[in-house]
Structure 1
């Protein structure tokens, strides 16, 4: 769940909600929440279709965001054009990637989904270099893209040939990361500096995504035959914690230590995802999976090394994407 570029210069209004929390604890909690998101998605697939998981996550994520917005006396964005852009952002940052991760985890371990999500900074940079005029390809960034690509090849184990269903799952997970890479530059190009704070835009984005999924999901899925409490709790936690609380924590980090330090949560979350999958779900990984993950993280770090410098009080882009996610700029699952 990377945070690459700040969304606006508007000082966050949500910071007072977590003002008493030490930034180190906030960093740890955010890493645990985003890293465990893939485990929660895996549990959700036990009884729900991927689109249903996405809808549940979006709805339970939107509620705390709207509550925070009301508590901080904010208001939702206005204007048809703004809502149109928010709808596109929600499509690329929430609707499609959340659903793709659900499909991916039907055939691959949650740990591998977490590794695939770590490629988000690579896709974000690649798309930004094409669509954003102020992004410049430096040698370090291009090297980061190359290193990250090598890491992806390692994760796939290309020397062993086609990977069957697991390979299809990995491609879906990488497709989700690509959506994040498309959506984040879109946010910056069409929603940055338009007079709205990140809290307002995030709430609007989540509402828009919830509406899209509420319309789409009944058309492509049937109602689940049973709904165990384990699944209900997993999906609720995925939304309320992975999107709601994580958003507040990210703002706390950016306010206290700046965007550059805050982005390093991107490199810890995949480690948490691997540990959670192996220790809690008893998943097994080949040797090249964690090795490839480490190479991807190095590549992502090189790509972000010349990204946004700390700017006190500057919030990250919409936190609604993160991995699974994470904020819009984060590799969040």
Structure 2
């Protein structure tokens, strides 16, 4: 299948998978702590990816291992814990929406660290998106007074790490296969995950006796298989067959899925929060469109 068609399939499937990840995190936290959930998510994903991707590691050149290690920390190692801690205090739907700031942050880091050109329309998109994010956090804090919306900063931090990671994959790991990048990431993460499980007293939990803990582990297994292992390979491939801007556009559809799951689970979502969400997505769209046009214009000029 041509890359032009394949990238859209990847985009839609990833949106559904990652948009559903936030409700799985919420359910997993019922019987597990944030540290236990994050470490289990890494461990289950590592086992799956290393079983199927072990052979691909042989093709990784030494110079690429440094960037795979950095990608492991930025793209998985830290964010899985940040999202888990964030959802101990704020709704899963709001976390999913705030995660849509990844393209805006990718623009900022692109200029600061990766030599991207400054464009006024992109800057406008960033401003609109940031206003929307601030409004969403403020309104959410008013509507849900029992929730600590300072934890929203953890989501923004995680989105920042994702924004850095997508640029690193495109610039430094373009020639490494998607499965090799994903499996290589977890070579770095599997031992720390085991240590965190031990230190967080996971093995002291009444797993056999407590049905709630069993269900939470089941949700983490689903999250690991689909939301981390499979999705990570697909996303790496999507970045390689498209560009960081298009790949990060997966965050357009993710909020729709996360809000739907949140409403099903009884979370509050007001019209003002909906308007703030539209502001974020409008900012992402404006910034993304300007960069896409610039890329297209450059390609036409080169041809």
- Fold conserved between structures, TM > 0.5: yes
Distance change (3 Å), C-alpha of 1:207 and 1:225: same
Which of 159, 165, 169 does residue 177 from structure 1 map onto?
Answer: 159
| Residues 139 and 273 in structure 2, CA contact (< 8 A), matched pair in contact too | no
1:4-31: per-residue Cα shift (whole Å, max 9, x none)?
Answer: xxxxxxxxxxx9xxx9x98776554332
Tell me the equivalent position of 1:90: 72
Distance in 2, matches of 1:214 and 1:276, equals: 31
RMSD: 3.3
Structure 1 residue 75 corresponds to structure 2 residue 58: yes
Distance change (3 Å), C-alpha of 1:98 and 1:251: closer
Q: What is the CA-CA distance between 1:36 and the residue it aligns to?
A: 0.5
1:206-230: per-residue Cα shift (whole Å, max 9, x none)?
Answer: 22123333234433x2226334332
Tell me the equivalent position of 1:42: 26
Q: What is the CA-CA distance between 1:153 and the residue it aligns to?
A: 1.6
Tell me the equivalent position of 2:37: 53
1:96-127: per-residue Cα shift (whole Å, max 9, x none)?
Answer: 11101111100111101101111111122212
Q: How many residues align?
A: 285
Distance change (3 Å), C-alpha of 1:222 and 1:283: same
Q: What is the CA-CA distance between 1:197 and the residue it aligns to?
A: 2.7
Structure 1 residue 204 corresponds to structure 2 residue 184: yes
Distance in 1, matches of 2:240 and 2:154, equals: 34
1:130-165: per-residue Cα shift (whole Å, max 9, x none)?
Answer: 1112x0111111111111111112102269889675
Structure 1 residue 31 corresponds to structure 2 residue 15: yes
Which of 257, 262, 273 does residue 289 from structure 1 map onto?
Answer: 273
Structure 1 residue 147 corresponds to structure 2 residue 97: no
| Residues 53 and 235 in structure 1, CA contact (< 8 A), matched pair in contact too | yes
Q: What is the CA-CA distance between 1:300 and the residue it aligns to?
A: 1.5
Q: What is the CA-CA distance between 1:167 and the residue it aligns to?
A: 1.4
| Residues 41 and 235 in structure 1, CA contact (< 8 A), matched pair in contact too | yes
Tell me the equivalent position of 1:6: none
| Residues 62 and 207 in structure 1, CA contact (< 8 A), matched pair in contact too | yes
Larger radius of gyration: 2
Unaligned regions of 5+ residues in structure 2, if any? 208-212, 297-303
SS in 2 for 1:126: helix
Q: What is the CA-CA distance between 1:262 and the residue it aligns to?
A: 5.6
Q: What is the CA-CA distance between 1:170 and the residue it aligns to?
A: 1.2
| Residues 57 and 183 in structure 2, CA contact (< 8 A), matched pair in contact too | no
1:287-316: per-residue Cα shift (whole Å, max 9, x none)?
Answer: 322222221112112222214969xxxxxx
Distance change (3 Å), C-alpha of 1:297 and 1:288: same
Normalization by structure 1: what TM-score?
0.73
SS in 2 for 1:119: helix
Q: What is the CA-CA distance between 1:268 and the residue it aligns to?
A: 0.7
Normalization by structure 2: what TM-score?
0.80
Unaligned regions of 5+ residues in structure 1, if any? 1-14, 311-333
Structure 1 residue 168 corresponds to structure 2 residue 150: yes
Distance change (3 Å), C-alpha of 1:297 and 1:186: same
Tell me the equivalent position of 1:329: none
| Residues 98 and 155 in structure 2, CA contact (< 8 A), matched pair in contact too | yes
SS in 2 for 1:239: helix
Q: What is the CA-CA distance between 1:269 and the residue it aligns to?
A: 0.9
Distance in 2, matches of 1:273 and 1:137, equals: 32
1:67-119: per-residue Cα shift (whole Å, max 9, x none)?
Answer: 44358x6636353x543432232222212111011111001111011011111
Tell me the equivalent position of 1:231: 216
Distance change (3 Å), C-alpha of 1:226 and 1:137: farther
Tell me the equivalent position of 1:214: 194
| Residues 127 and 181 in structure 1, CA contact (< 8 A), matched pair in contact too | yes
